[in-house]
């Protein structure tokens, strides 16, 4: 357990949460084992009375090894108790390497809304057609007066050469 890096990340999150990462040696295919270790550690701290203060969830995979969110990272004693059980369970499963704070993730501009992109219409729904209760079909067929009217106001296709 790399406590220094984890402690700094925990302090940076104002002691409310902590993203942790298990960086295995060799195969990175350890997601199931980490999920089980998280469940075991959660139950152990619950039994020890830390359940309201310490809880980890959201195990997911990454290139460097599985990550999880300690969404309730209460007093240091409870957090250390959780890490002890978590690490012990992984050792018993013969998985070795280190548990540390996960590196901060880069959020791309397109995801956080900082990137401007022009909007374009991808569909049009005619609310009056949806409310049509007549027995006439609600579909739109080329050749009907409505489609002719629409085509008059639409851009004309470019002529094609036949040769």
pLDDT in tens, 7-23: 888 788 777 888 888 88
- Is 54 a member of any domain? yes
Residue 4 has pLDDT above 90, yes or no: no
pTM of the model: 0.61
Count: domains in the chain? 1
Mean pLDDT of 20-37: 85
- Is 26 a member of any domain? yes
Model pLDDT, residue 81: 94
> Structural domain of residue 42, as residue ranges?
3-104
Shortest CA distance to 66 belongs to which of 32, 92, 105?
32
Q: Domain with 15 in it: what CATH number?
A: 3.30.70.600
- Is 162 a member of any domain? no
- Is 143 a member of any domain? no
pLDDT in tens, 83-129: 999 999 999 988 878 888 887 766 666 666 666 666 666 666 666 65
User: For the chain, percent helix, then strand, then coil, each to nearest 5?
Assistant: 35, 15, 45
Shortest CA distance to 36 belongs to which of 15, 66, 76, 63?
66
Which two structure tokens, joined as six digits, stand for 21?
């990462």
Model pLDDT, residue 112: 66
pLDDT in tens, 37-87: 999 999 999 999 988 999 999 899 888 889 998 999 889 899 999 999 999
Residue with the larger pLDDT of the pair 157 and 19: 19
Give the whole-angstrom CA distance, residue 64 versus residue 2: 15
């Amino acid at each position: 357990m790399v406590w220094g890096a984890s402690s700094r990340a925990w302090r940076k999150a104002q002691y409310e949460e902590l993203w942790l990462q298990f960086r295995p040696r060799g195969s990175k295919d350890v997601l199931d084992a980490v999920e089980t270790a998280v469940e075991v550690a959660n139950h152990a701290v619950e039994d020890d009375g830390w359940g309201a203060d310490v809880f980890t969830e959201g195990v997911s995979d990454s290139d460097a090894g599985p990550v999880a969110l300690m969404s309730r990272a209460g007093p240091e004693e409870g957090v250390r108790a959780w890490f002890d059980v978590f690490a012990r369970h992984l050792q018993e499963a013969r998985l070795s390497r280190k548990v540390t704070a996960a590196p901060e993730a880069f959020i791309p501009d397109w995801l956080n809304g900082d990137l401007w992109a022009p909007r374009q219409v991808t569909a049009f729904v005619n609310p009056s057609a949806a409310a049509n209760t007549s027995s006439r079909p609600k579909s739109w067929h080329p050749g009907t007066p409505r489609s002719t009217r629409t085509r008059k106001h639409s851009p004309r296709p470019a002529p094609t050469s036949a040769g």
